[in-house]
Chains A and B, each alone.
Chain A
Amino acid sequence: MINDNHLLYLGALLLCVGLVIVITRRNAIVVLMGIELMLNASNINLVAFDRYFPGQLDGQMLSLFVIIVAVCEAAVGIAIVLRVYHYYDTARPGDLNQLKEHADRNS
């Protein structure tokens, strides 16, 4: 019988790629894209594990609510990015150093 775990491999790959994107990218919108990738990885895993319980649909319901929360997160995140851009004239999270005491010396 064919090993059908490749769905879980794809979920793991999307999670790790999203994590690396969130850490290494210097644009706030690309960071939001990485978060969306990680939420998609969780959705894939939920739908894959839903096959263990053929009569029930709890995994699909949970991933539906994950999609809803992801939409809210994206909307609020984009709003915050726009606000920060209007105030600081940049969309790079590394440049938001106004609270640093000696920003030029410590950076």
Chain B
Amino acid sequence: MSQGTLIAFELLAAVAAIGILFVRAVIHAAMLLLVCLLSVAGIFALLGAEFLFVSQIMVYAGGVLVLLIMGIMVTSHQARSEIHSTAFFPTAVMGTAFFVFIISALSAFRSLPPLADGPSGTAPAIGKLLISSYVLPFELAAVLLLVALVGSAIVAADKPPRT
């Protein structure tokens, strides 16, 4: 088990996420988000969830981030995102307190079981689950994706169509 690689990916994701909090330019925040999402994909791969690894890269790094960068290009002339200065300090204190609370709650938690070694091939099992016991959420997700696609196209259209 490559424990060191896992911890390295976790540190990378954590540093990139905290960097989003402090960086000024919006496009730099998008790049840091890309680093964070790819690190999470690496964590998925190390945990033996290879279907989620591929979906994370294709959907997040390939889809959502391109969408966000297109949005940045269209909307932000100066592409600066100033931080809410009066709200930043109390919110940071609140976030830190929330984090400490979760950590202290987790310390009473029993440790996660070690990852079972061996050939891990979860993609065929996920495929079978998608068409057997998860077929209703699968079809609902298809409808949701279609509705979101058509709805976002209509909302973002220059002139709403006359009915």
Bound CA–CA A12/B14 (angstroms) = 10
Q: Chain B, interface size: which category?
A: 35 or more
Least CB distance from A82 to B in Å reads 5
A23 to B21, CA, bound (A): 11
Q: How many whole Å from B76's CB to the nearest CB in chain A?
A: 6
**Residues on A with beta carbons closer than 8 Å to the beta carbon of B47:** 7, 47-48, 51
Q: Closest CB-CB distance, B69 to chain A, in whole Å?
A: 9
**Interface digits, A1-33 against B, CB 8 Å rule (1 contact, 0 not)?**
111111111101111111111011111111011
Chain A residues engaging chain B, CB cutoff 8 angstroms: 1-10, 12-21, 23-30, 32-34, 36-37, 40, 43-44, 47-52, 54, 57, 60-61, 63-65, 67-72, 74-76, 78-83, 85-86, 91, 94
Instruction: Pick 17 A–B contacts, CB within 8 A, sort by A.
Output: A5-B109, A8-B112, A10-B13, A13-B99, A14-B14, A24-B84, A24-B91, A40-B40, A48-B47, A51-B115, A57-B126, A60-B49, A60-B52, A68-B141, A71-B63, A78-B67, A79-B152
